[in-house]
Amino acid sequence: MRRVAVLITAILLLLPVATPVLAQCPSEGHTVIMHAPAVAKTSTGELTGVVTEFVITVAPGSGHVYIETWPLAQVDMQASARLAAQVAGRVLGVDMSKYDVFIQVRANTSIIGGPSAGGTMTVGIIAALKGWSVNPKVMMTGMINPDGTIGPVGGILEKASAAHEAGAKLFLIPEGQRVQYVQKTEKKEIGGVIEINTRTTPVDVVKYAKERWGLQVVEVKDIYQAVYYFTGHRIPKPEAPQNVKIDTSFLKEDAEKDYRNTTSYYENVLKALKESNVGYDTYSLLMAALENAGKLLNQSKEAINEGMYYTALSRDFQARIIIRHVDWYLSTNTKEDVQALLFKVRAEINSTEEFVENQTIQGVTMLQAVAAAEERIEDAKSSLEQAWKYYYSGQYWDAIGEAAYAYERAKTALFWTRLGKRFAKGKPISRDVVKVTARDYIDESSLIVAYIESMYGNVLGNDLTDTIEKAQEYYDDGKYSAALFTAMQARVQGEVFLDTLGITNWTVLVDKMNILKEDARTSIGIAEENGITPILAIAYYEFAESFEKLATENKSLDNLQNAMTFYAYAKETANLFLNTRPSRPEGTKTETGTVPQIVIPTETMNTTTVEKPKGGIEYGVLGIVVLVAFLAGLGVGRRL
């Protein structure tokens, strides 16, 4: 990629003094020209739609993706363009290391819609690879995800307006984003006093665009549907496996044993607290903490009875952090005792790290589990570092709490490594695979976060930006698994934010959750068809179900969003390091549906047979998030 970076730098340096011209098409290859709506900001900070031109050329080469923007985009499109090329290659079964992709982006103003052009660029690359023409009356907005699905974006109303102004007859948007929520501000003057009220109003984009402009708006789920609307060609799509069963029974013995051990630990610490000589205030606080731990253990038992074994393990994990916090607080009397405790935790982390690093990774299932373990080790290190900071500032209670979390987190790294070994099979896999995937996810996640901040400002605080910076630090330190999972956490949370922005309607959110749920099931089924047991994905799917259950019982929007997030994690982990999807023989049933009556070249209306996959792009990824103990006052709640 160094060669690419040098070329891009040279282009950007020349742009301010150059007259924009179309790049010359290489002697071999195909070029397509597409238009897509983007978003720009006016001088008053309002969003407005603008039309962007994409000139996409694919020619024989060595796997590079070159991109030029005019004027300079506020959001770099390089990561999105690179992902678009990878997805196009995988969908067609084409080895993209044998091609170069050239993309020129032209707009009348500086745009902020980099990620939202991912789907359009993917369609363009596919069309150029196949030599297909694209319908100039069709436009689209939507991110491209590693699995080929079209991801959520912002500014859809503004983009619909821009598409209409450019003469589009059909506008494609991501599935689930038909209803947009806008804020309307009303001013009333009563007796010289101005009253300002702001209310959120739902807008059905399909109905609104049709009534106002005669523009047809259609939701698309994936790149297969998008390609058909643009070209009239149907690319055979891998069929979703039927009757996918999500079963965590492989964790049953672990869950039952863990529950017994944690319950025994709870009873011993409870007894120790009652026999201690701590004062009334301290006793009351510690007892309240243990009561919370007891509630978590009850939830664990209920989960076991319901066959939700990963959920049970998670509840035990949360309870154990609280119990260990109380236990270690009771057993430390001096500053030196706390210091010795921190050294003990450091030794545990170091021992665990050595154990994990010495594993020979056999097969994708073990690779996923070990990657998860390595991320947890880095998480444990971060907590221990914070514990030392508390220690040196004399905040011993907080130091012990962080140490308790770090200790238990390291133990989960051991658990996942041993679980991965149970499912080890196949040839050894190099950890360099993780490095490549981590780099892609950091770049893509950074793009999404920058996109959100460019459009909506610092609405999410610094959380996502800090997460990306942390992922980059891990990567720079050679901790590629931790970098991968941390970047994936930011990516998923960013996408869920975009998909739920401004929505408080329960029914709409449940519908969106069900889409994510079905996507997760499909991804798990595809992984299993490839001979992989996606243990992480199955675990997260079940955990999402536990949040869905809580949301249904309590009508809790927070739990509903947690369910959506974990379903998204399940989907991403199922795809993690999965090189190829199962190929289908010729004549396989392909996508069907009602196509809007717009002008699509009649000679391309027949189903097109595409070459069988010859190889795949390493993709996938997921950030691992586990809900941990709530220790507020007595400790701190965390979800990573």
pLDDT in tens, 482-515: 898 889 988 898 888 888 887 888 988 999 999 9
pLDDT at 588: 37
> pLDDT by residue (tens digit) across 263-300?
999 999 999 999 999 999 999 999 999 999 999 999 99
Backbone phi and psi for residue 595, each to the nearest 5 degrees, phi listed first: -100, 130
Buried b (16+ CB within 10 A) or exposed e, 166-190: bebbbbbbbbbbbbbeeeeeeeeee
Q: Could you tell me the CA-to-CA distances from 21 to 55, 68, 102, 104 in Å, in that order?
A: 11, 11, 14, 10
> pLDDT by residue (tens digit) across 209-268?
999 999 999 999 999 999 999 999 999 887 778 888 899 999 999 999 999 999 999 999
Residues facing residue 32 across a β-bridge:
56
What are 438's two structure tokens? 């981590």
The pLDDT-based confidence of 39 (bands split at 50, 70, 90) is confident
* The one catalytic residue among 80, 116, 161, 445: 116
Q: Residue 592 above 90 pLDDT?
A: no
pLDDT at 627: 25
Task: Report the sign of the C-alpha dihedral through residues 596, 162, 603, 590, in that order.
Answer: negative
Q: Residue 126 above 90 pLDDT?
A: yes
Q: Residue 26 above 60 pLDDT?
A: no
| Global pTM value | 0.78
d(C-alpha 509, C-alpha 560), whole Å: 8
The single-letter DSSP state of residue 191 is T
> pLDDT by residue (tens digit) across 87-103?
999 999 999 999 999 99
d(C-alpha 64, C-alpha 82), whole Å: 8
What are 499's two structure tokens? 């998909």
Q: Residues in the chain, how many?
A: 640
d(C-alpha 75, C-alpha 443), whole Å: 12
Q: Residue 312 above 70 pLDDT?
A: yes
What are 123's two structure tokens? 């369609």
How big, in percent rounded to 5, are the helix, strand and coil portions of the chain?
A: 55, 15, 30
Q: pLDDT over 70 for what percent of the chain?
A: 80
Sequence-distant (6+) residues with CB within 8 A of 289 are: 322, 325, 326, 631, 634, 635
Give the mean pLDDT of 54-68: 93
d(C-alpha 355, C-alpha 43), whole Å: 57
The pLDDT-based confidence of 23 (bands split at 50, 70, 90) is very low
Largest CA distance in the chain: 87
What SS3 class is residue 174? strand
d(C-alpha 274, C-alpha 282), whole Å: 12
Q: Residue 593 above 90 pLDDT?
A: no
The mean pLDDT of the chain is 82
d(C-alpha 616, C-alpha 416), whole Å: 27
Count other Cβ atoms within 10 Å, centred on residue 592. Answer: 9
Task: Judge whether 93 and 144 are in contact, CB under 8 Å.
Answer: no
The pLDDT-based confidence of 636 (bands split at 50, 70, 90) is very low
Residues facing residue 35 across a β-bridge:
53
284: left (phi over 0), alpha (psi -120 to 50) or beta: alpha
Contacts of residues 348-351 at CB distance under 8 Å and 24 or more positions apart, as own/partner, are 348/407, 348/410, 348/411, 349/377, 349/380, 349/381, 349/384, 349/406, 349/410
Using CB atoms within 10 A of its CB, is residue 208 exposed (0-12), middle (13-18) or buried (19+)?
A: middle
Give the mean pLDDT of 377-399: 96
Residues facing residue 66 across a β-bridge:
102
d(C-alpha 493, C-alpha 624), whole Å: 12
Backbone phi and psi for residue 367, each to the nearest 5 degrees, phi listed first: -60, -45
Backbone phi and psi for residue 504, each to the nearest 5 degrees, phi listed first: -120, -5
> pLDDT by residue (tens digit) across 167-203?
999 999 999 899 888 776 666 666 666 666 666 788 9
Q: Is 159 tagged catalytic?
A: yes
What are 591's two structure tokens? 């996508």
Q: What is the 3-state secondary structure (H, E, C) of 15-64?
A: HHHCCCCCCCCCCCCEEEEEEEEEEEECCCCCEEEEEEEEEEEEEECCCC
Lowest mean pLDDT among 155-159, 398-402, 618-622: 618-622
Using CB atoms within 10 A of its CB, is residue 271 exposed (0-12), middle (13-18) or buried (19+)?
A: exposed
Lowest mean pLDDT among 243-247, 280-284, 473-477, 541-545: 243-247
Using CB atoms within 10 A of its CB, is residue 584 exposed (0-12), middle (13-18) or buried (19+)?
A: middle
Task: Judge whether 567 and 524 are in contact, CB under 8 Å.
Answer: no
d(C-alpha 115, C-alpha 154), whole Å: 10
Q: pLDDT over 90 for what percent of the chain?
A: 56
Q: Is 116 tagged catalytic?
A: yes
d(C-alpha 369, C-alpha 2), whole Å: 31
Count other Cβ atoms within 10 Å, centred on residue 587. Answer: 9
Q: Which amino acid is at 535?
A: I
d(C-alpha 527, C-alpha 533), whole Å: 7
Task: Judge whether 435 and 472 are in contact, CB under 8 Å.
Answer: no
The single-letter DSSP state of residue 100 is E
pLDDT at 459: 63
What SS3 class is residue 179? strand
Mean pLDDT comparison of 63-77, 558-572, 618-632, highest-scoring range: 558-572
* The one catalytic residue among 80, 130, 137, 159: 159
Give the closest residue to 174 by CA, choosing from 159, 191, 194, 192.
Answer: 159
Order of strands, sheet of 138-140, starting from the edge strand that comes earlier in the sequence: 138-140, 170-174, 216-220
Residues facing residue 428 across a β-bridge:
362
Buried b (16+ CB within 10 A) or exposed e, 20-29: eeeeeeeeeb
